[in-house]
C-alpha cells in the first residue's frame, strides 16, 4: 500500500437498550468527541468523515449523513455514508483507511452507529416484497438452520453454544461500555432461557442496543509521533450472492477468501500462532466455532474444539471477543466497527480490564446479509 495508516483515536458510547437522553446526532457526536480526545485532535484537524450504519429503516432516517453533517463537524468537508449490511461497521473503517492508504487525506474520522430504540430492526428486516424471500423470523430465524447444519456436519456437542454465551457475557463484565452486565451467568442460566429458534435460546442471541463507535485514522507522518498507534497491517472485503444452489452457508467462500487475502497481505502463514487476539462478529453463540473454521484458526469441523478446550477464553491461547463481543452489545451498524476498534485497543494496550497481555497483532472481523458480506482487518503494535 502506498501510505501506511494507523488508528490513533478510539471513542465508544456506553451501549444500552435505550439512550433516550441523546438524539442520533448526540449519540454519534459522543463517540466522535471521545475519539478526537483520544487522538489529541479537534474537529478542525479532520479532513474527511466516513459514516456507516445498517439499513436506514432501523431508525426511520433516510441517508442520515445529510442530517448528521453538522454533528460530526463535516460542514465544508467530504462526507460519505457506507452501507454493506451487518459488515458495515468494518467496511466503513476500511473505506476510511483507503482514504489514508491512497494518500487522498491525512486525517479521517470514521463513525458507525445504530439507535435501535428509534424503530424496530426485526420489523425492518421482515418487510415482504413480491418475488423475494421473506425474512419473517428476523436474523435469528434466518441463521438457526445454518447453525443446525453446522452441528450436524461437525458433530459438535450441544453445549458449545452455551459455553460461548457464558464466556462472552463474563468477558463483558470487564468492559465498562458493554450493554449486558450479567453477574453470575452460568450454563444453567443460558439453558433455562426461552427457546427462540432451535438451537438458539434467548441468551444465545445478541441484545438490541443503541450506541456508536468512532475512530481517527491517520498516515505514517502523523502517527509516528503518537505513543501507541495501532498500525493497519491488512484489510479485506468480500461479497457473494445470498442464495444459489451449492452455496456453503456454514462456511461461506467469501469469508474464506477474505481471510486468505488478509493473511497474504500481512505475511501471516499460521494465523492461530501469529494472531494474539480476535474480535469476531458473533451475534449468535454458535457463530464463534463456525467463524474459527471460516477464518482458518481451526480445521473444518473442529472449530468447536477451540471453544471446548478454552482456547477462545479470556485466558486462552487465542482470546476471542475479550470485550464481550456482539453477544453483549449490538448497535448493529456499529457492531463491526466496535470489533475493529477493540482489536486496535488491544494492540495499543488500552483495553484496561479486558486487555490481553502482550497483544501485538489483533483481528477485527464483521459479516452481514445472509453470511455473504465480509470485512476484516489486522492491526499491530509494530509497523508492517
Partner 1 sequence: MRDVAIVGFAQSPSHPDPIHNDVETLTPVIAEAVKRSGIPRKEIGFICSGSCDYLTGVPFAFVSALDAVGAWPPVRESHVEMDGAWALYEAWVRLQVGDVDSALVYGFGKSSVGDTRDISVAQLDPYYVAPLWPDSVSMAALQARALLEGDRRQETGDSARYTERDFAEVVARNLKNAKRNQLAQVAGVFDVEMLLQAPYDVSPLREHDCPPVSDGAAAIVLAAGELARKVHERPAWISGIDHRIEAHSLGARDLAKSPSAALAAEKAGAGQGSIDVAELHAPFSHQELILRDAMGLGEEVEINPSGGALAANPIMATGLIRIGEAASRVMNGTAKRALGHATSGPCLQQNLVCVMEAG
Nearer to partner 1, 33 or 80 (CB): 80
Give the distance from CA 267 to its chain's centroid: 23
Nearer to partner 1, 137 or 242 (CB): 242
Q: Could you say whether residue 65 binds partner 1 (CB under 8 A)?
A: yes
**Binding segment (CB under 8 A) for partner 1, from list 82-90, 138-146, 175-183, 200-208:** 82-90
**Span interacting with partner 1, options 67-75, 155-163, 176-184, 277-285, rule CB under 8 A:** 67-75
Q: Which of 184/246 has CB closer to partner 1? A: 246
Binding letters toward partner 1, positions 253-282, x by CB under 8 A: xx--xx------------------------
Task: Of 268, 274, 250, give the one whose Cα is nearest residue 367.
Answer: 250
Give the N- to C-terminal CA distance of the chain in Å, as an integer: 11
Q: Given candidates 33, 43, 45, 98, which one binds partner 1 under the rule CB under 8 A?
A: 98
- Say whether residue 57 binds partner 1 (CB under 8 A): yes
Count of other CB atoms within 10 angstroms of residue 4: 19
DSSP code for 84 = B
Residue choice 146, 329, 346, 372 for contact with partner 1 (CB under 8 A) = 372
Instruction: Determine the Cα–Cα distance for residues 140 and 82; give it in Å rounded to an integer.
Output: 24
Nearest distance from residue 78's CB to partner 1, in Å?
A: 5
- Judged by CB under 8 A, does residue 22 bind partner 1? no
Q: What is 188-241 written as a DSSP string?
A: HHHHTSPEEETTEEGGGB----EEEEEEEEEEHHHHTTSSS-EEEEEEEEEE--
Q: Does residue 124 belong to the site contacting partner 1 (CB under 8 A)?
A: yes
Residue 146 sits in the site that holds partner 1 (CB under 8 A) = no
Q: Quick check: 347 and 64 in contact, CB under 8 A?
A: no
CA distance 97 to 88: 14
Q: Which is nearer to partner 1, 91 or 154 (CB)?
A: 91
Angstrom distances, CA of residue 40 to CA of 36, 215, 216, 340: 6, 12, 10, 20
Q: Which of 83, 148, 272, 305 binds partner 1 (CB under 8 A)?
A: 83
Q: Is 104 in the site for partner 1 (CB under 8 A)?
A: yes
In the bound state with partner 1, the residue whose beta carbon lies nearer, of 322 and 370, is 370
Closest CA to 328 of 190, 206, 188, 212: 206
The helix (run of H) or strand (run of E) holding residue 25 is helix 24-38
Q: For partner 1, which residue of 61, 137, 226, 308 counts as binding (CB under 8 A)? A: 61
Residues in region 205-244 near partner 1 by CB under 8 A: 236-242, 244
Closest CA to 112 of 45, 39, 31: 31
List of residues contacting partner 1 (CB under 8 A):
1-2, 23-24, 55-57, 59-70, 74-85, 91, 95, 98-99, 101-104, 118, 124-125, 127, 129, 131-132, 236-242, 244, 252-254, 257-258, 369-370, 372-373
Amino acid at each position: 500500500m502506498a501510505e501506511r495508516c494507523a488508528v490513533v483515536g478510539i471513542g465508544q458510547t456506553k451501549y444500552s437498550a435505550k439512550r433516550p437522553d441523546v438524539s442520533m446526532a448526540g449519540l454519534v457526536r459522543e463517540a466522535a468527541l471521545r475519539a478526537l480526545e483520544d487522538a489529541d485532535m479537534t474537529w478542525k484537524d479532520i479532513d474527511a468523515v466516513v459514516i456507516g450504519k445498517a439499513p436506514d429503516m432501523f431508525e426511520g432516517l433516510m441517508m442520515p449523513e445529510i442530517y448528521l453533517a453538522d454533528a460530526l463537524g463535516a460542514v465544508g468537508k467530504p462526507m460519505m455514508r457506507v452501507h454493506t449490511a451487518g459488515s458495515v461497521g468494518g467496511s466503513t473503517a476500511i473505506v476510511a483507511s483507503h482514504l489514508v492508504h491512497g494518500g487522498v487525506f491525512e486525517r479521517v474520522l470514521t463513525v458507525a452507529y445504530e439507535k435501535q430504540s428509534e424503530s424496530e430492526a426485526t420489523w425492518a428486516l421482515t418487510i415482504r416484497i413480491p418475488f423475494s424471500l421473506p425474512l419473517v423470523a428476523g436474523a435469528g430465524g434466518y441463521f438457526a438452520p445454518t447453525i443446525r447444519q453446522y452441528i450436524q456436519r461437525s458433530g459438535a456437542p450441544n453445549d458449545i453454544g452455551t459455553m460461548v454465551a457464558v464466556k462472552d457475557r463474563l468477558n463483558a463484565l470487564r468492559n465498562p461500555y458493554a450493554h449486558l452486565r450479567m453477574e453470575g451467568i452460568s450454563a444453567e442460566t443460558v439453558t433455562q432461557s426461552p427457546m427462540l429458534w432451535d438451537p438458539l435460546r434467548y441468551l444465545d442471541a445478541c441484545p438490541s442496543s443503541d450506541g456508536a463507535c468512532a475512530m481517527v485514522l491517520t498516515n505514517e507522518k502523523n502517527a509516528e509521533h503518537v505513543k501507541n498507534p495501532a498500525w493497519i497491517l491488512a484489510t479485506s472485503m468480500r461479497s457473494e450472492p445470498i442464495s444459489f444452489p451449492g452455496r456453503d452457508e456454514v462456511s461461506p467462500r467469501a469469508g474464506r477468501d477474505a481471510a486468505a487475502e488478509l493473511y497474504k497481505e500481512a505475511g501471516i502463514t499460521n494465523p492461530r500462532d501469529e494472531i494474539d487476539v480476535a474480535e469476531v462478529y458473533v451475534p449468535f453463540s454458535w457463530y464463534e466455532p463456525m467463524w474459527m473454521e471460516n477464518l482458518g484458526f481451526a480445521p473444518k469441523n473442529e472449530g468447536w474444539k477451540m471453544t471446548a478446550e478454552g482456547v477462545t477464553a479470556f485466558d486462552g491461547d487465542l482470546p476471542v471477543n475479550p470485550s464481550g463481543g456482539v453477544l453483549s452489545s449490538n448497535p448493529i451498524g456499529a457492531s463491526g466497527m466496535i470489533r475493529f476498534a477493540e482489536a486496535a485497543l488491544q494492540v495499543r494496550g488500552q483495553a484496561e480490564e479486558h486487555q490481553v497481555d502482550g497483544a501485538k497483532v489483533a483481528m477485527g472481523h464483521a459479516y452481514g446479509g445472509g453470511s455473504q458480506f465480509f470485512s476484516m482487518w489486522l492491526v499491530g503494535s509494530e509497523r508492517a
